[in-house]
Amino acid sequence: GPTKCYPFQHTVNVLAGALLGPWWASGAAFVTSLLRNMMGTGTLFAFPGSIPGAFLAGYAFRLFKKPWAALAEPVGTGLIGAAIASLILGPAMGRSVGLWTLVVAFSASSVPGALLGGVLLHVLRKTPLARYVQSGENGAK
């Protein structure tokens, strides 16, 4: 298919969102997507399939500071990212990809990855790193 799903990308998005904030998490998602494309493990769909999720995860953590904010990542990826990919990127690449096809594909990757990220954040709350996740000392102002 036109996409190559990679759930661990979404785990990283959740961790980056919680630790770095929405803008840095988006930057990390961009760099990861670029690296995946350069190594042949991703397609151009990696960009809209990761950056909106990373941003929303970071924004949700900024607002709520709770591990369940990880659930914002699949919303950004599965809904917003899929819409961007279907309506803008697909036609630009000369590929016709249905919106709901991408919603299912992106969600199948982002939901397990985001859940793993949420579990890891829950575990991190019991370590000295917890102050960076919860206090806002992560530069996400």
For residue range 108-140, what is the model confidence (pLDDT) as tens digits?
A: 999 999 999 999 988 988 888 777 765 555 554
Domains of the chain: 7-134 (1.10.1760.20)
Element (H, E) at 117: helix 99-124
Q: What is the pLDDT of residues 36-65, one digit of tens each?
A: 999 988 888 889 989 999 999 999 999 998
Calculate what percentage of the chain has a pLDDT beyond 70: 91
> Which pTM value belongs to this model?
0.86
- Length of the chain in residues, anyone? 141
In whole angstroms, give the CA distance from residue 26 to residue 120. Answer: 19
Tokens of 101: 């096809």
Q: How far apart are CA 97 and CA 102, in angstroms?
A: 7
